[in-house]
Amino acid sequence: MSSIDEIKARIDIIDLVSESVQLRRSGKNYTGFCPFHANTRTPSFVVFPETGTWRCFGQCNEGGDIFRFVMKKENCDFTEALHRLAERAGVQLKPPTPAEQVAAEEHERLRGLLEEAVTFYRHQLTGTPAGQPALQYLLQRGLKPEIIEAFGLGYAPPGWDTLYTYFRSRNYTDRELLDAGLLSIRAGEDDPSKAGSLYDRFRNRIMIPIRDERGRMAGFGARVLDPNDVPKFLNSPQTPLFDKGRLLYGLDRARKEIRARDQVVIVEGYMDVIALHQAGFTNVVSPMGTALTENQLFLLKRFSHRIVLALDPDAAGAKATLRGLQVARQAMDREAEVVFDARGLLSQETRLQADIRVVTLPEGLDPDELVQRDPLEWERLVSEARPIVVHVMETLAAGHDLDDPKVKSEIARQVLPLINDLPDPFERETYRQRLARLLRVDERVLLDERQPQRKDRSRYASSRRSSRSAPASLPQVSSTATAAGLEAHCLGVLMRYPYLIYRIDRAMQEFGLPRLSTKDFQRAEHQTIFRLIQDSLDQNIAEPLQYILDGLSLPMMEIVDDLLSRTEKLNPVEDRVFEDVLRAVLQLRKIVAQDSLGYLRFALEDAQNQDDMQVKEYAQNVKQVSSMLRHLNDALGRYTGRL
């Protein structure tokens, strides 16, 4: 038995959940009000003791095991939940390897060094004459002393070795100061005799501490005071603690409010985050000066699936839209143009099952200036944020003559590919109708524009039918197989063939079903492994399987070893492997849908003597799950040749 399974065996899910949710017995299960969203009328939260899982049948539509419950409740990742529950269960996790232990100790010492650097820069800002211009600049920007202190803002003095001398006197080594990103090495271009010598990386700059989502120090962002200095913003370099593609500034302070509002707003600048938090809008974060990465979106998705991008007019304007994007600046370490990639965002929105919207700020105003001028205007703009497709079509149309046929054709040429990329047929139809109204054309003209895509789909469907003509050599997944076994089988296959995710997603779209996601896996460790598989496809540093193995902790390695051992004897023909894993995914969804339908019918019958609104809500859920089951049966029937 793995340590994860041992923890599940020792902790009763009813005892765990009952500590924060008032449960009442309903047949063999337990129900209550969901703790993850406002919910006082309908007890849509259900705990299933037999399987050790829970599910919300209301607004959240999420579920999982004890690990997933702690992750959502405590806003933590799987590793942290694992350690908390292991301590509660009295399970001794395997000790780290000597290399892991050394790395952990080194990281803790580097974090301690960075915390001391915060204090050093803070003293330079508030306790030295040299820091007074920096302090006055912050106050003139509208920041109050208490917010300056709360965010730990500081000042790096202009000397080349002020910090270096101070920390060497505190027995920190050159290597530690370099690994923390506080020093740089001279290249010797101006004076070869000084090549290889060390100097303070940050000089005459306002210092902004950057912490991870748990509040641990990771590095610094630094803004110039002298307008002649370049670059305007300078981040810590890549270090063992600082990875700007995986950090979001302000998330440690924003995550509770993000969950409370079920919305996160992303702005470009550090100062924007600080000013908005000061004004009471504490669900705001900023990327580390790079394009918004999928790792950052995955991190945000743990707290809310509703994401608003607040872009200045240059970033969201027609010129940038014509080029196509990724949000925010390419690098704050250099001056670069802001671009906006609508297609990339839609792809991320679909993969993450998120709701990404865009708001354009008034001309010439940054968020910090806007919120100081009129906080209500900021609130209104965020509430009116538009879906990506609507934003693009209206931005392209603004200021153009929509009576000109060439203008209409150009707008349609750029917007229709975005619409056709959407997996939901209702969204596609709605946006197509909206575009037709905007351009004042017959919708049939826009339908004609997508004929080539239909031909592509037909070719795919034809190739799919031909691939079914020969029976798969792998045994078909039994309809009586457990959901946990199906999850394990799917993950074992996908670790060996991660690119099959793309084929599965295309097949699901053809069946009118949602793409493969973490919601298809009930066990938290399986969700973590699936995210690693997705991440392995978005990097080019290592082979996908090696990348997955490198990202695992020791307890997770036990799980992965078992998953890989289950799939050692796969058919060498990839098409047959694809058929097998697709059947498994469809059957897994069918089992979950059948279980959900059974509970909902019971709940509907139980609610007949209660208020009409509750009955109506359960009836609507029954209708939706029944429709999903029909789609799944149709997909299984069409794909396997039998219902």
Q: What's the rounded Cα separation, in Å, for the pair 500 and 568?
A: 17
CB-based contacts of 551, cutoff 8 Å, min separation 6:
532, 535
CATH label of the domain that carries residue 27: 3.90.580.10
Question: Average pLDDT, stretch 278-289?
Answer: 91
Question: What is residue 313's predicted lDDT score, i.e. its pLDDT?
Answer: 60
Residue 98 lies in a domain: no
Q: What's the rounded Cα separation, in Å, for the pair 508 and 280?
A: 43
Residues 500 and 406 in one domain: no
DSSP string of 310-338, one letter each residue: EE-HHHHSHHHHHH---SSBS-TTS---B
Residue 563 lies in a domain: yes
CB 476 within 8 A of CB 515: no
Residues 488 and 603 in one domain: yes
Residue 54 lies in a domain: yes
Query: Does residue 80 surpass a pLDDT of 90?
Result: no
Residue 94 lies in a domain: no
Q: Which domain holds residue 436?
A: 400-464
Residues 636 and 488 in one domain: yes
Q: What's the rounded Cα separation, in Å, for the pair 365 and 567?
A: 56
Question: What is residue 191's predicted lDDT score, i.e. its pLDDT?
Answer: 66
Residue 97 lies in a domain: no
CB 353 within 8 A of CB 519: yes
Last residue of a domain, one of 89, 122, 154: 89
Residues 204 and 162 in one domain: yes
Residue 104 lies in a domain: no
Residues 502 and 615 in one domain: yes
Q: What's the rounded Cα separation, in Å, for the pair 308 and 385?
A: 7
Domain count, the chain: 5
pLDDT band at 459 (very low <50, low <70, confident <90, very high): very low
Residue with the bigger pLDDT between 302 and 398: it is 398
Question: What is residue 328's predicted lDDT score, i.e. its pLDDT?
Answer: 34
For the stretch 72-79, contacts whose Cβ atoms lie closer than 8 Å and that sit 24 or more positions apart, written own/partner, are 72/36, 73/20, 73/35, 73/36, 75/213, 75/255, 75/256, 75/259, 75/302, 75/303, 76/214, 77/302, 77/528, 78/524, 78/525, 78/527, 78/528, 78/556, 79/553
CATH label of the domain that carries residue 490: 1.10.860
User: Poorest-confidence range of 15-19, 92-96, 393-397, 595-599?
Assistant: 92-96
Query: Does residue 161 surpass a pLDDT of 50?
Result: yes
Q: Where do we find the tokens 């199906």? A: 486
Question: Average pLDDT, stretch 310-329?
Answer: 46
Question: What is residue 338's predicted lDDT score, i.e. its pLDDT?
Answer: 45
Residues 387 and 414 in one domain: no
Last residue of a domain, one of 235, 259, 291: 235
Query: Does residue 230 surpass a pLDDT of 50?
Result: yes
Question: What is residue 77's predicted lDDT score, i.e. its pLDDT?
Answer: 83
Question: Average pLDDT, stretch 582-599?
Answer: 85
Query: Does residue 373 surpass a pLDDT of 80?
Result: yes
Tell me which amino acid residue 562 is: D
Residues 611 and 495 in one domain: yes
Q: What's the rounded Cα separation, in Å, for the pair 287 and 251?
A: 10
Residues 607 and 503 in one domain: yes
Query: Does residue 335 surpass a pLDDT of 70?
Result: no
Question: Average pLDDT, stretch 602-630?
Answer: 72
User: Poorest-confidence range of 94-108, 110-124, 363-377, 396-410?
Assistant: 94-108
User: Poorest-confidence range of 32-46, 136-150, 389-403, 456-470?
Assistant: 456-470
Give the mean pLDDT of the chain.
Answer: 81
Residues 379 and 435 in one domain: no
The number of beta carbons lying within 10 Å of the beta carbon of residue 35 is 16
Question: What is residue 480's predicted lDDT score, i.e. its pLDDT?
Answer: 32
User: Global pTM?
Assistant: 0.59
Q: Is 328 exposed, middle or buried (0-12, 13-18, 19+ CB in 10 A)?
A: buried
Where helices occur in 422-523 by DSSP H, the ranges are: 425-439, 443-448, 451-468, 483-496, 500-511
Last residue of a domain, one of 358, 375, 392: 392
Residues 488 and 623 in one domain: yes
Residues 366 and 221 in one domain: no
**Pairing label, strands 306-311, 386-387:** unpaired
Q: What is the pLDDT of residues 415-433, one digit of tens each?
A: 998 898 888 888 899 999 9
Residues 565 and 547 in one domain: yes
Percent of the chain with pLDDT over 90: 33
Three-state DSSP class for residue 45: strand
CATH label of the domain that carries residue 378: 3.40.1360.10
Q: What is the pLDDT of residues 162-217, one digit of tens each?
A: 999 999 999 999 999 999 999 999 876 666 667 789 999 999 999 999 998 878 89
Residue 474 lies in a domain: no
Q: Where do we find the tokens 């929509």? A: 402
Query: Does residue 354 surpass a pLDDT of 70?
Result: yes
pLDDT band at 620 (very low <50, low <70, confident <90, very high): confident
Query: Which of 94-108, 162-176, 387-401, 576-590 is the most confident on average?
Result: 162-176
> Taking the mean position of all CA atoms in its chain, how far away is CA 585?
23
User: Poorest-confidence range of 53-67, 316-330, 576-590?
Assistant: 316-330
Question: Average pLDDT, stretch 378-402?
Answer: 90
Residue 440 lies in a domain: yes
